[in-house]
Structure 1
């Protein structure tokens, strides 16, 4: 505000000098060009009238201008101060961990409003991260509770002589393996969601990817009595830019889920098609399926649609979360569809085709 007032005063001083010193001199020069005699009463009266009128107009104009400029400057400074105070308060609250804090928009200009919107977006992201952290800790505590309780119960039983050590060792070993696997899954899903899993991207033929997955899983499907089929209408030249090991991990998760949810005598189909610049790979089964309510939660950590199964026989509930994060790192997506319980499920992967292929 002081800077604005200095500019206004400098302008007022300049106008005063021009109108008080230069203006009357020019006016006097033009009067001398008339027929009025120098020093006459008429000439003196005219010059005095000019100076008085000019001084009155200048004085009133300056007062009005200063009042208007001061009012506008004060209002602008007040709005800026409110906005900056809100930004400072919000940053202070965020630094204290209050991620629900938001900065109200007071219309202090495009730049400050944009800054406030950016700060609100950052706060929303921090709030989401904090909510994810809390949910992760809650889920992890829930997952650890069962194996820890089993280990504790069997140790007490051995200590009391109720169970022989030889009989309980397989159970203890199985729960220990489960805890180790859970720790590995938690580490991998955290790195995947943070985009920290290393990817070795290079052109990969889709046909080779599917053939490799079928070769790896056909024996397990045969042992379980579930048919594994392949349907593809792709030419051999169709390729994607991807990490073969990571995509094999994604397909392995999908095929493992399909096998676990399909009864003996059922079938799982692995197919691939192209749609413009996108390759779609689908894993479809005729097994248990899922409800519309479950579909919105399938990719959440630790969520299991197969609630009737024991946790030892079901997955960790992290495979789909890791798979979606890996596909996101490849610039792709994954969707799930089912017509309802008992009517099978289809998981579809969409990846961009390699530039050279397109």
Structure 2
């Protein structure tokens, strides 16, 4: 750190010093020119002769005493002002230096760097708080990016390893291209295709590139179609799916039916995945002011408080040891959130903890087209 006219603190102190010197010179000039004349006029008015030796002596004493007092006072004021300016500039300089160093470290990838509050004023404290908030968000984004790359590599590794093994087996003649082999190769290829399509859907939705064909649809019809599409999977697992709907309700929303159906289907699939045999999942819809609330509630595993803030992140899984085939790609909830938000709505999750089930609420605006 260095003091110079190139730094903000140096310029501030230099400017304050110039103002103080100008003020001192102005005060001295005014006192030396106006003061003696006023003092002389008062002496004459009090009865002293204009050119008497006594009057000259008194005026000289006044000028010398005034000059001495003014000089001492101005020197002390100048010293105090310079000291205060130096202290203020030093504190400001320290705060700006900390912010600059933190910004440099942050730009170098050190996302854990934070700026302490040094008392440089409410503006700098607010700026430091905003900087720390930004650094925290960047740290979260970086952690998410690393986890995404790790999980994406894991998702790709299994089908690629399977395809590679079968390819080598076919080349070496160890494996025959029969019906079972074709089924395995097709399944793994489809898995890779679904993963690529899911990632593309999320990226397009989050970047605002998701094309929506908005048309008025009855909410009851949208929910009924989603429930009917998932009912076969529920029957196979032995989980009850209850649709609590008023099929005659006239409530409509302006949405892309296919995309909303995809979002609701992902939520129903997620609920089925985490609900054991004999459990129940219910889906319902109700109007609420200018919105429509679609609720999906299950009696399954539930979600811990530590997991709730992350369940809509890409590839997030509460239990990393969970079987991949059972837990899917970990991107279904992310897609649902992106689709609902593209419609101007919101999606939230609630759970009282493990063993208490979970509730997902989708809020869609009741927009007229």
- Shorter-chain TM-score category? 0.7 to 0.9
Rounded to whole Å, the distance in 2 between the matches of 1:307 and 1:49 is: 93
Corresponding residue number in structure 2 for 1:337? 351
Corresponding residue number in structure 2 for 1:321? 334
Ranges in structure 2 where 5+ consecutive residues have no aligned partner:
1-12
Secondary structure, counterpart of 2:249 in structure 1: coil
Corresponding residue number in structure 2 for 1:230? 243
Render the CA deviation track for 1:138-164: whole Å, top value 9, x for unaligned: 111111221122122222322332221
Secondary structure, counterpart of 2:184 in structure 1: helix
Alignment pair present for 1:87 and 2:99: yes
Q: Work out which of the residue numbers 76, 92, 116 in structure 2 matches 1:104.
A: 116
TM-score, with structure 2 as normaliser? 0.81
Ranges in structure 1 where 5+ consecutive residues have no aligned partner:
none
Secondary structure, counterpart of 2:155 in structure 1: helix
- Cα contact 2:220–2:246 (8 A) shared by 1: no
Deviation at 1:182, TM superposition (A): 1.3
- Cα contact 2:239–2:275 (8 A) shared by 1: yes
Render the CA deviation track for 1:189-242: whole Å, top value 9, x for unaligned: 344455554556676542342234345445665677765432136983545565
Corresponding residue number in structure 1 for 2:267? 254
Matches within 5 A, 1:186-265: 186-193=199-206, 196-199=209-212, 205-218=218-231, 228-232=241-245, 236-240=249-253, 242-260=255-273
Rounded to whole Å, the distance in 2 between the matches of 1:169 and 1:231 is: 42
- Cα contact 1:226–1:264 (8 A) shared by 2: yes
Matches within 5 A, 1:1-358: 1-166=13-178, 167-193=180-206, 196-199=209-212, 205-218=218-231, 228-232=241-245, 236-240=249-253, 242-260=255-273, 268-274=281-287, 279-285=292-298, 288-290=300-302, 292=304, 296=308, 298-303=311-316, 311-312=324-325, 315-329=328-342, 330-337=344-351, 341=355, 345-351=357-363, 353-354=365-366
Render the CA deviation track for 1:270-319: whole Å, top value 9, x for unaligned: 21234556543222345x43464795464443355799986446532211
Go from structure 1 to structure 2 and tell me whether the alpha carbon gap of 1:141 and 1:47 turns closer, same or farther (over 3 Å shift).
same
Go from structure 1 to structure 2 and tell me whether the alpha carbon gap of 1:77 and 1:203 turns closer, same or farther (over 3 Å shift).
farther
- Cα contact 1:185–1:318 (8 A) shared by 2: yes
